[in-house]
Structure formats: C-alpha cells, structure tokens
Amino acid sequence: MAGLSAEVEAEIQHLEAMIARLEAGAEDPEDFRVFRLKNGIYGIRGRPEHHMVRIKLPVGRVSPEALRVLADVAERYAENRLTHVTTRQAVQLHHVHRRDVPHVLRAVNRVGLTTREACGHSIRAITCCPYAGVSPEEPFDVTPYAEAAYRYFLRHPVGQNLPRKFKIAFEGCATDHARTPIHDIGVVAAVEGGKRGFRLYVGGGLGAAPMSAELLEPFTPEEDLLPTMLAIIRLFDRYGNRKVLTQARLKFLVKRWGIAAFREAVREERRMVKLTASGEDLKAWQPPQDLPPPSLPSPPKKPFSFAPGFDAWSRTNLFRQKQEGYYTVAVRLPLGDITPEGLRALADIAETYAGEIRSAISQNLLLRFVPEDALGGLYEALLQVGLAHPEAHTILDITRCPGADTCNLAITRSRGLAQALEAHLHALPLTHDPAVRSISIKISGCPNSCGQHHIADIGLYGSSRKVGENEVPHYTLLLGGRTREGEARFGQVVARIPARRTPEAVERILKRYQEEREQGESFQAYLDRVGAASFKPLLEDLQSIPSYEEAPEYYQDLGAEGETFRVQLGRGECAV
C-alpha cells in the first residue's frame, strides 16, 4: 500500500481543519460545502453531520487491494455497510459521519483511488468502455488515452470552477457501451490512413432537458486529443452560463451557438492552446503507450460446472474476448450494491481467476482475462460467496440511482421500486423470452436522470401527485430510449403511474410486445412501428387512485412501507 503524496495529504489536512472549525462554529458552512464537494463529499438528506462519499475508480479500473480497502472503509464508516457501484465508474459510501470522512479519504488514496472532483462544478469521472482492450469490435484500446486524460485533468486549474459539471466518455467499440452521446465530450476510436485518432462529439447530457451530442470532428489525430479537449473546456469555462444553473451545462452553449460556430471556436482555441503550450503540456500530449498485457493467473482448470445454475449464468454473464481462450465475466450486483464480505471475496476470486477488474456503467463489476478452462471453477467460487447472480445486462439487471434514501433532490425511493420490479418480473414466464430479456429498465428517483432513465427501453423517474390532503408516490414512465454512436434517442412519456402499480404497468407493456410483435422484431423496432403513445390507453386505468381510507398502501412509497409518503426536497448537490 502506497503512501500519500504531499498534495493529497495537504488537502485532507485542510479538510480536517475545516471540520474542526465548522463544529466549533468558526467556519462558514457554505465555504465548507464548496470544498467538500470538490473533494467528493455530498450532503445526506435530513442529516447534515452525515455524508455520501463518492470515490472514483479511474477509467473503471480497480485492483483487488483496492476492493479490500473499500470493504474496510464501508464496514467501519458507512452506516449501511454497503458499497454502491454507480453508472459512472465510481462507488459511493452512504451515511459516513463527518468526522470519519478524512479516514476514508486517506485509506482510498493509498490504493490509487481518489474522491477529488467527484462532485461540484468540475470535470467528473472520465469513463471508459469496460470492454476496452478485450473487444473484438475495437480498432485499438482506448484505455491508455482515457487514463492520460484522467491524469491530465485531475486537479488541472481549468476544471476547478466550471459553470457546471463536465462529463467525458471514451469508447472503442461499434456498440456504444460507454453511452458517448449523453456526455459533454464523447471520444470514439477511429483510424484514418493507418493513423490512430478519434471522432469527437460534444454537447450531450441528460437531466430535465436531455440533448444528444453532436459531431465536432470526424477525425482528431491522437496527438491533438488533449489539446482539443482542453480547448473545449476553456471555451465552456469562459462562455458557459454562470447566472442560471439550469442552463449551465455545455449542451446549452453548443445549442446557443450552433455546432458550426462552436466547431470553429474550438479550432481557433486549440490553435492558441498549442501555440502557448508549456513543456509539461507538450509532454502530456504525446500519444500514450499501449497497455502491457495484465499478469495472467493460472487457476485450476474447470471449463464447465455441474453446480446449480451454471448454464443460465454462462448464457448471460460471459463475454468472449478477442484474446483467444479468454473471457470477461460480469459479476452482477443487484441494485448496484455489494457488502464488505462480498468485496473481500471478490478480491480473492479475482486474484485467483482474473487478470484485472473493471467497473461497468451497468453498475456491475467485470472480471477480465478469465481463462476459458477455468470458468467452471470461477462460477463455483462466486456461487459459494453469493455472487453468482445470472441475468447480467438483461431486463432483470435494473439500473437505479440511490433515490430518496439519501439524495436531497429525489422524490421517490428508486431502490424500493427496483427491488419490487425485479421480484415481480422474475416470477413472470415471459421473462424467459430472449427478446423480452434483452429489454433495459432504468430508474431514477427524480427527473434528473442519475439512473439514466431517458436512454432505457423502459425508463421510470419519481414524481408525486396530491389526492385530497395526501401525497401519492408516482413514477413517470417513458418508452423507447436508446443510444448508438452519434445519436441518443430519449424515451417518450406515456404515463404517470402510482408506485404500487408500476410493476403491473411494466408487465402489461411486456405482454403487449410479446403478443403483437412481428417475427424477429426487437422491442425498439416494435416501438418504432406502433409508437410509444399507443401504450397510453393500455395504462390508463392504472392511474386511478383509491382514497386513503380504502387503500392506505397507495400513499406509501415502495421501500418505505409503513410510512406515509411526503415529498421532502433539500438543496440539490447532485443534479444532472
């Protein structure tokens, strides 16, 4: 375990001093809020002395040693003992007491992780396709380029006080695993005349006003990647809307200027960036070296297993790598959560069976470079510790944000719906249909789309409706979201359903698709043919609400049974 750099130690000591002054009444709470957000520390709903700590997994990579440290800090400092894996290659610890936050920061920094700029108006986690380096689709591995960008922009002065948060994603595959069209900058591998480069997209984002990124350049040579990204960020820093927070993302600047004018501004800004570059910049802009192959394990050979569930697990959780004889294995984490015991067990299993570990935006962890002749042994090891969940990246692998359990902006408890929906769907025979199983479901606790509901086949976000003197938790249901390179299509709203009846609404949608589809027709193609709006009559009767006296359960949120529902919004710190 490495020691801390002087820079990191100074930041943590400054945080400790601010906490001491805050508790003594000598620190401005707003100044503390700004500093803690810059260091990945959010407020928790209703408990000002507790925090959510967001820890970046740099471009999705995490070592077994780091998993063990995450287990230790979750066990010791997180009230619920869980580590929550996010959709942005980071993990979150919830309900960490303020006085314990510096202990968490020291521990995770010693194993190469950081919380720096995981929150606030900064350059957030730079995400990378989790199959980069192993995918048969890719022209080259984008991982070293993503890592170079991560290192360059971490603590860079240009990213410390932007008009709004800024998100970057790297993709090498034809399949859009990284969801580049919903990012401020989407970076897609390209080759032209035998030379490496990238197609760059700008101005994507979700939130209450989702927009798809637009093509900035069809080919940016690899040596121009960082100067171009820096030019974009400098323009955003200079011209982004600092007066109206809801209009502050890069997408609004691109829309206001138009892509043609923005493109010309980037080219001129890049010219100035390169003309005024320092020696350190020139060094950083050199194309990075390809990653060396990981140290491969020599696990016990057992290609197949007679243990219960192996066939079902192998159908959904395996990805054949371009490296002959190796697989990437998805470790599905229901609800995106994993316990300290699970993290430690996974660290041991990874050291025995895998070359490396990565995080996916599906809120799962991937074990890469698993030898084909060891898959049976790996499955049995995962089964023994309760981590052999099948159905990775299927309809039962539901994405969800933390919701109103902790978030100040959330209206509903998205975790509760995800649990209820998975249980409901698991019992339906129709989920054995391969076409139904490929449908994606994503849930957010509010319109801000932290659960990425806009780009799901079936998206849901929390809302509320008042009936008499009481509030009823609802979910707004969208259909038809998806992404591919250069295009994001956002789901269309078709209904607002009481939380209690939302699983039934999803069931009706799936049954109609199964009954009416044409031969070989996917759910997306079916929606394109019949139109999302055609589902409105099907769901209309589910929207009626009985009185509180007739059915008090309607007035309780899923995941908060026994409590009368009430919207309790605080000051937002996490809005998309």
Mean pLDDT for 68-75 is: 98
Q: Please indicate, yes or no, if residue 345 is contained in any of the structural domains.
A: yes
Last residue of a domain, one of 50, 80, 109: 109
- The whole-number pLDDT of residue 574 equals 55
445 and 378 in a common domain: no
pLDDT at 572 over 90: no
pLDDT band for 575, please (50, 70, 90 cuts): very low
What span, in angstroms and rounded, lies between the C-alpha atoms of 475 and 456? 14
322 and 353 in a common domain: yes
Give the chain's mean pLDDT. 96
pLDDT tens readout for residues 181-210: 999 999 999 999 999 999 999 999 998 899
Last residue of a domain, one of 50, 85, 109: 109
Provide the CATH number for the domain around residue 322: 3.30.70.3340
- The whole-number pLDDT of residue 297 equals 85
What span, in angstroms and rounded, lies between the C-alpha atoms of 344 and 64? 8
280 and 154 in a common domain: yes
Q: Please indicate, yes or no, if residue 420 is contained in any of the structural domains.
A: yes
What's the order of all strands across the beta sheet hosting 326-331?
61-62, 356-359, 365-371, 326-331, 318-320
What span, in angstroms and rounded, lies between the C-alpha atoms of 239 and 524? 38
**Cβ(236)–Cβ(216) below 8 Å:** no
What single-letter amino acid sits at 71? A
219 and 96 in a common domain: no
Q: Please indicate, yes or no, if residue 179 is contained in any of the structural domains.
A: yes
Beta bridge pairs of residue 338: 83
Provide the CATH number for the domain around residue 98: 3.90.480.20
CA nearest to 73, candidates 95, 40, 44 = 95
143 is written with which tokens?
């991982």
Q: Please indicate, yes or no, if residue 303 is contained in any of the structural domains.
A: no
pLDDT band for 562, please (50, 70, 90 cuts): confident
Q: Please indicate, yes or no, if residue 564 is contained in any of the structural domains.
A: no
pLDDT tens readout for residues 338-369: 999 999 999 999 999 999 999 999 999 999 99
pLDDT tens readout for residues 430-484: 999 999 999 999 999 999 989 999 999 999 999 999 999 999 999 999 999 999 9
468 and 369 in a common domain: no
330 and 459 in a common domain: no
CA nearest to 499, candidates 458, 462, 552 = 462
pLDDT band for 568, please (50, 70, 90 cuts): confident
81 and 18 in a common domain: yes
Range of the domain at 96: 6-109
What's the order of all strands across the beta sheet hosting 441-444?
399-400, 441-444, 458-467, 470-479, 492-498
**Count of structural domains within the chain:** 4
Residue 575: which residues within 8 A CB-CB, separation 6 or more?
207, 409, 448
pLDDT band for 576, please (50, 70, 90 cuts): very low
335 and 190 in a common domain: no
144 and 11 in a common domain: no
Q: Please indicate, yes or no, if residue 483 is contained in any of the structural domains.
A: yes
Other C-beta atoms lying within 10 Å of the C-beta of residue 449:
26
Do strands 166-171 and 185-192 pair parallel, antiparallel, or not at all (unpaired)?
parallel
479 and 520 in a common domain: yes
Q: Which residue has the higher pLDDT, 571 or 122?
A: 122
Last residue of a domain, one of 349, 384, 419: 384
Size of the chain, expressed as the number of residues it contains: 576
- The whole-number pLDDT of residue 570 equals 66
Q: Report in angstroms the alpha-carbon separations of 144 from 52, 150, 170, 229, 493.
A: 30, 10, 10, 16, 39
Residue 541, judged by CB atoms within 10 A of its CB (0-12, 13-18, 19+), counts as exposed
Instruction: Give the DSSP letter string of 454-476.
Output: GGSSEEEEEEEEEETTEEEEEEE
**Cβ(1)–Cβ(65) below 8 Å:** yes
For residue 183, what is the DSSP state? S
**Cβ(285)–Cβ(227) below 8 Å:** yes
Residue 26, judged by CB atoms within 10 A of its CB (0-12, 13-18, 19+), counts as exposed
Q: In this structure, what are the phi and psi dihedrals at residue 482, rounded to the nearest 5 degrees?
A: -175, 165
**Cβ(554)–Cβ(498) below 8 Å:** yes
Q: Please indicate, yes or no, if residue 295 is contained in any of the structural domains.
A: no
What span, in angstroms and rounded, lies between the C-alpha atoms of 495 and 491? 12
- The whole-number pLDDT of residue 333 equals 98
What single-letter amino acid sits at 105? L
Q: Which helix (H) or strand (E) holds 96?
A: strand 90-97
pLDDT tens readout for residues 383-412: 999 999 999 999 999 999 989 888 888 999
pLDDT band for 548, please (50, 70, 90 cuts): very high
pLDDT tens readout for residues 128-181: 999 999 999 999 999 999 999 999 999 999 999 999 999 999 999 999 999 999
Provide the CATH number for the domain around residue 432: 3.30.413.10
Q: Please indicate, yes or no, if residue 574 is contained in any of the structural domains.
A: no
- The whole-number pLDDT of residue 1 equals 64
191 and 79 in a common domain: no
130 and 222 in a common domain: yes
State the pTM of this model: 0.96
Q: Which residue has the higher pLDDT, 173 or 569?
A: 173
